Amino acid sequence: MNVSLFMTPLETRPALLSGAAAVVIDALRMTSTSATAFANGCAALYAVREVEEARALRASVPDALLGGERHGVLIEGFDLDNSPLSFSRARVAGRRLIMTTTNGTWAITGVAAARRVLLGAFVNASAVARALLDERSVVIQCAGTDDRLSLEDVLAGGAIVERLLALGAQAHLDDAAQAALTLWRAQGSDLHAALRDTHHYNVMLRGGQRADLDFCLRTDVLDAVPVRGADGWFTAQ
């Protein structure tokens, strides 16, 4: 298995995705939230880049809920923001979700050329690794923030790499995947400490989102792995 890791969406090129399984990571918060939605019984999830695309898609799927954020908060007229705490069983069980966020859904659409697309985070790292074991080519796509590296996404990528190796994968890691693994091994045991001085962590702290940080910075608490289907909708692996 070849494992490549892209630290930002800038590195994504279709040729690098050909035949690969791509794991998109936006640990704070979109992919953590997506795994949570499926753990709570959501039926399917569709990721779009633009708010207007989300509204247009809902016009053809009127029972769907609209979720996501701009500038970290609820979008006008949307049903749900981007907090995993909002995606409770009561809200999402059996429902379709249409999501648009500032970085996560951009990263997802950026890897559209991959053969498979999965959504990963700390919360489902081991489950993602298990879902990748038979792959020959894995691309870990970190969402980052505005085309800059976000340490939490790289650390979550390192966690998935570490789990793959622990499961016995014979993996050849590119330089970036090796770096992510080293970072995870150095810092994964205390994610709040690792992220204390990072950009997005502090944006969320200032925004009163400590509960979301506590939720998202737990490892291996969910088994749900969102996987893109042939129709573009994600369902739970």
Site for its own copies, rule CB under 8 A: 7-8, 10-11, 147-151, 154, 173-176, 178-179, 182-183, 185-187, 197-200
- Minimum distance, C-beta of residue 129 to its own copies, in the bound complex (Å): 19
- Minimum distance, C-beta of residue 147 to its own copies, in the bound complex (Å): 7
According to DSSP, the residues that pair with 139 across neighbouring strands are: 4, 22
- Minimum distance, C-beta of residue 150 to its own copies, in the bound complex (Å): 6
> Residue 42 or residue 142: which is nearer to its own copies going by CB?
142
> Residue 85 or residue 171: which is nearer to its own copies going by CB?
171
Conformation bin of residue 52: beta by default, left when phi > 0, alpha when psi is -120 to 50: alpha
Give the DSSP per-residue string, 19-74.
TPEEEEE-TTTHHHHHHHHHHTT--EEEE-SSHHHHHHHHHHSTTPEEEE-BTTBP
- Minimum distance, C-beta of residue 119 to its own copies, in the bound complex (Å): 21
- How far is it, in rounded angstroms, from Cα 86 to Cα 79? 10
What lies within 8 Å, CB to CB, of 190 at 6+ separation is none
> Residue 128 or residue 181: which is nearer to its own copies going by CB?
181
> Residue 179 or residue 221: which is nearer to its own copies going by CB?
179
> Residue 45 or residue 216: which is nearer to its own copies going by CB?
216
- Minimum distance, C-beta of residue 183 to its own copies, in the bound complex (Å): 6
What lies within 8 Å, CB to CB, of 107 at 6+ separation is 9, 12, 24, 25, 26, 141, 142, 143, 144
